[in-house]
């Protein structure tokens, strides 16, 4: 992915370990590093997480990518946990 390139993607599911996102024709490569930014109701600032592309769908529309989070800080993991808990009640 190009440096500084940004776009919104649809997140199909998210867990503490990763996420499945819908991607368009933009090419991603397995092993590539991406950054996801979530707006969370319990945070002042967006939750920014780094992830590695773990898999890409081979066929079908829409195209999907599986992302594995690369957690570096425990506070980000806790914020993600709170976000997931909030989503469970929507």
Q: What totals of helices (H) and strands (E) does the chain contain, helices first?
A: 1, 5
Is 21:10 a contact under the CB 8 Å cutoff?
yes
Q: Does domain 10-88 have CATH number 2.40.10.220?
A: yes
Is 47:79 a contact under the CB 8 Å cutoff?
yes
Distance CA 52, CA 29 (A): 10
Mean pLDDT to the nearest integer, 53-75:
87
Name the band, by pLDDT with cuts 50, 70 and 90, for residue 3.
low
Mean of the per-residue pLDDT values for the chain? 84
What is the structure's pLDDT at 1?
43
Which alpha helices (DSSP H) does the chain contain, by range?
74-88
Distance CA 5, CA 55 (A): 20
Q: What is the pTM of this model?
A: 0.82
Residue 17 or 85, more confident: 17
Does residue 44 register a pLDDT over 80? yes
What is the structure's pLDDT at 4?
55
């Amino acid at each position: 992915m190009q440096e500084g390139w940004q776009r919104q993607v649809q997140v199909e599911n998210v867990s503490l370990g990763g996420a499945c996102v819908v991607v368009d024709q933009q090419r991603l490569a397995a092993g590539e590093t991406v950054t996801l930014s979530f707006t969370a109701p319990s945070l002042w600032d967006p939750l920014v997480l780094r992830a590695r592309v773990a898999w890409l769908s081979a066929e079908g529309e829409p195209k999907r990518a599986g992302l594995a989070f690369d957690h570096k800080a425990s506070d980000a993991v806790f914020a993600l946990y709170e976000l997931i808990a909030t989503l469970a009640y929507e």
